[in-house]
Amino acid sequence: MFTNLTKLDLKDKPSLAEAGSPKLCMKALPGEGAERSCAYDGARVVLMPITDAAHLVHGPIACAGNSWDNRGARSSGSQLYRRGLTTDLLENDVIYGGELKLKEAILEIAAKHQPKAIFVYATCVSALIGDDMSKICAEAEAELPIPVIPVNAPGFLGDKNIGNRIAGEVLFERVIGSGDVSAEKIPLSINLIGEYNIAGDLWGILPDLKNLGITLQTAITGDAKFDDLRSAHRACLNVLICSKSLTNLVRKMEIRYGIPFIEGSFYGIHDTSATLIAIAKALQDPDLLVRTQAYVQKRERETRAIIAHHKKRLENKQAILFTGGVKTWSMVSTLAELGINILAGGTQNSTPEDFQRMKELMDPTAQIIEDTSSAGFLKIIAEKKPDLIVAGGKTKYLAHKTRTPFLDINHGRKLPYAGYEGMVTFAESLTRTVFSPVWGYLRAEFPPVGG
């Protein structure tokens, strides 16, 4: 019943592990406190930003109830994707099966919410009780004018990465190229893969693309409309933003539709420019390349001028960086741009390639965080005493307890950090936390010694 995944390529390359990468994407031990997530979470992260689709979770309340509408992926149009929809499997459903309920739910949601498509997510419980979700989705689809797409990534399959990959397979098999039969390429068009428009990140990149005359066919899947995704095969180039988890998708699109892909990042001045130039080169338009080179120079100059006073204040501050995916290495150069040194870096949900890239960019004396549990994280903060911590939201309140300035760079944040505009916002945010007056109050003894 599960999507047959192509072998994970990292297994074929033992050399990277030997080159000193920690064991990434390895099984977490029961009780060790790894604090990762599950395959279902990975699948929803990739697919739920599709704005005009309904996302129905076939499971008990824990899977949707604790998590709906909790990510910062933003939409310029339909808000349907923010609706929490679940079959809410109850005791009797576990005993008698949830197939009938699921079919009814699909039909009712189609009638009430008029979605462009319905994605139906399997969960641990629906998989265990043996509900044939693919069959039910096919039956419902036959009665409806819209696609009903099963996403078979129950939580126990593994952690987030595997769910990301399954979501990529679903997009490839069921969405891309499914409605739009034209194979004609749209001139100078790209897909941004792994860009989820967190806090409006995508909107910080779009003006630059527009100024250069590059058309965004669709992001996969930030602020994406279902019909635009169906035509994603007509783009000239795939730009892979969130590194490896969707590599399978771009490889398959290359084979089936002849779309080449490049990797890039829009975090920081350096990476934004490098990515724009790489896009121009890959689109093989000499005029575009010349335009882009001049453009990025101008934008770099402007941006550096705006952030100069922040850099002056932040220079030589010592940071601990803890994140995942593309941000693993992209944040290293972003922080370096502001003159910030990295004392220690760690990652979750990153591939050995991402990790090696981070390591190469960091100072050789920087420490690699091996123990990614809260306990390990606290230990390294106590040892290193950094001036600031740059990490995901789930470590935010932990970091605050250590009385250390903290910046959230993951999905819970409210401000966009991508592109040149994002770099300015990022620098402002860093300055606000590092130089906030509150840290002094927290570190001061009370009552004062001898006072």
38-67 residues in contact with other proteins (CB under 8 A) are 38-41, 56, 59-67
Least distance to other proteins, CB of residue 52, Å? 16
- Span 375-404, contacts to other proteins by CB under 8 A: 375, 378, 382, 393-398, 401-403
- Span 214-273, contacts to other proteins by CB under 8 A: none
Least distance to other proteins, CB of residue 254, Å? 30
- Of the candidate residues 12, 30, 181, 451, the single one contacting other proteins (CB under 8 A): 30
- Span 139-168, contacts to other proteins by CB under 8 A: 154-159
- For other proteins, which is the closer residue by CB, 89 or 342? 89
- For other proteins, which is the closer residue by CB, 35 or 363? 35
- Applying CB under 8 A, the span of 81-89, 168-176, 358-366, 428-436 interacting with other proteins comes to 81-89
Told to check if 29 binds other proteins by CB under 8 A, we report: yes
- Of the candidate residues 19, 20, 69, 436, the single one contacting other proteins (CB under 8 A): 69
- Of the candidate residues 104, 143, 173, 370, the single one contacting other proteins (CB under 8 A): 104
- For other proteins, which is the closer residue by CB, 148 or 307? 148
Least distance to other proteins, CB of residue 129, Å? 7
- Applying CB under 8 A, the span of 75-83, 136-144, 179-187, 265-273 interacting with other proteins comes to 75-83
Told to check if 184 binds other proteins by CB under 8 A, we report: no
Q: Which residues pair with 56 in a beta bridge?
A: 85, 120
The count of residues interacting with other proteins (CB under 8 A) is 76
Burial 84-95 (b: 16+ CB within 10 A, else e): ebbbbbeeebee
Told to check if 336 binds other proteins by CB under 8 A, we report: no
- Of the candidate residues 125, 171, 175, 391, the single one contacting other proteins (CB under 8 A): 125
Told to check if 108 binds other proteins by CB under 8 A, we report: yes
Q: Over the chain, what HEC string results?
A: CCCCCCCCHHHHCHHHHHCCCCCCCCCCCCCCCCCCCCHHHHHHHHHCCCCCCEEEEECCHHHHHCCCCCCCECCCCCCHHHCCEECCCCHHHHHHCCHHHHHHHHHHHHHHHCCCCEEEEECHHHHHCCCCHHHHHHHHHHHCCCCEEEECCCHHHCCHHHHHHHHHHHHHHHHCCCCCCCCCCCCCEEEEECCCCECCHHHHHHHHHHHHCCEEEEEECCCCCHHHHHCHHHCCEEEECCHHHHHHHHHHHHHHHCCCEEECCCECHHHHHHHHHHHHHHCCCHHHHHHHHHHHHHHHHHHHHHHHHHHHHHCCCEEEEEEECCHHHHHHHHHHHCCCEEEEEEEECCCHHHHHHHHHHCCCCCEECCCCCHHHHHHHHHHHCCCEEEECHHHHHHHHHCCCCEEECCCCCCCCCEHHHHHHHHHHHHHHHHCCCHHHHHHCCCCCCCC
- Report CA torsion sign: 151, 182, 225, 215: positive
Site string for other proteins, 408-447 (x = CB under 8 A): ----x-----------------------------x-----
Least distance to other proteins, CB of residue 6, Å? 18
Least distance to other proteins, CB of residue 391, Å? 12
List phi, psi (to 5°) of 208. -65, -40
Told to check if 203 binds other proteins by CB under 8 A, we report: no
Least distance to other proteins, CB of residue 104, Å? 4
8 A C-beta contact, residue 343 and residue 366: yes
Least distance to other proteins, CB of residue 64, Å? 7
- Of the candidate residues 83, 281, 304, 311, the single one contacting other proteins (CB under 8 A): 83
Told to check if 406 binds other proteins by CB under 8 A, we report: no
- Applying CB under 8 A, the span of 125-133, 237-245, 276-284, 328-336 interacting with other proteins comes to 125-133
Told to check if 5 binds other proteins by CB under 8 A, we report: no
